[in-house]
Amino acid sequence: MPSSVTYPRLSPRPTPQRVNWKDSRAAGLVGAWPIMEQGGNVIHDIVHGVECVPKSGSYQWSNPALGTIGWGLELDSNDANQAARTARKTPHLNFLGDMTMSASFYLQSIAIANGHIGSHGGGTENEEDNFTHFFRITTGGDLLYLWEYSTGTNESVTFSSVFAATTLYTIVVTRREVDKACNLWVNGTHHSQQTYSNNPTGGLNGDFAVVGLSSGSGTAPLDGTLMDYKLWNRALSGREAVAECVNPYSLYAPRVRRRVGKAGAPGGNPWYYRQQQAIGAV
């Protein structure tokens, strides 16, 4: 099993982010939720403004003073009604071919079956409600990646023995339509490639959900803390996937805080604080 990556504790709380569009990974990025930097009960997409709001249940924002994993969204796997979903349809996230998903999270436990990371779809067997991507963690520590083609017919790939409890992960999953292949990277290491037979269809009536239960899916919330989630409408290259795993936050360009020196100060140079890169309490 790939070893975990240790990230620095984010203290103080990071400043709001924007995408660094000069990074090659930004091409095809259609959704980015830097959950580590947010608060309240709304999860904001900084690319297209798609907001995820609680369906029910309650969320708790982690306090880095109490741990070492930084800010994120803590979930209670015992509350089967928890969900963060969009309040409107999201056709730009309805991927029928190439796509990539990246997620950074601290996994507290794998004891709850089918822990939900993220998905796009609906809750019926009608083709327009098909799931076009759905990511679950099983009690065996596997990653199940599934979607539907035709009416209520599932296609799935399973990446075996991926996860262990009480571990911090960044995963990248790609799907390539041309050779019908799915690849998984875990904390910078390529895990495996799985092939499939059928691309997804339908799904235009579906909505996006992250870190929670989607109606009719038979899943439970991810048991842990989610810190970042991204979606692309293309398959990242291997090099891009490794870069995303090693530092998923480097795709964000910190909004620089500028403080001008006092009048008459030598040189009058401004001071800059790049808080995202800070370690410790200073």
Residue with the bigger pLDDT between 101 and 203: it is: 101
- Work out the pLDDT band at 170, boundaries 50, 70, 90: very high
Q: Give pLDDT tens digits for 221-261.
A: 777 778 889 999 999 999 999 999 998 988 887 654 444 44
Tell me the domain boundaries of the chain: 17-256
d(CA 159, CA 181): 12
SS (H, E, C) 141-198: CCEEEEEEECCCEEEEEEECCCCCCCEEEEEEEEEECCCCEEEEEECCEEEEEEECCC
Residue 103 pLDDT exceeds 90: yes
Q: Give pLDDT tens digits for 181-232.
A: 999 999 999 999 999 999 999 988 888 877 655 444 556 777 777 888 999 9
| CATH for 17-256, options being 2.60.120.200, 3.40.710.10, 2.60.120.460, 3.10.310.30 | 2.60.120.200
Q: How many CB atoms lie under 10 A from the CB of residue 186?
A: 23
pLDDT of residue 106: 85
Backbone angles phi, psi at 39, to 5 degrees: -160, 180
The pair of structure tokens assigned to 82 is 């928890």
d(CA 122, CA 113): 20
Residue 122 identity (one-letter amino acid): G
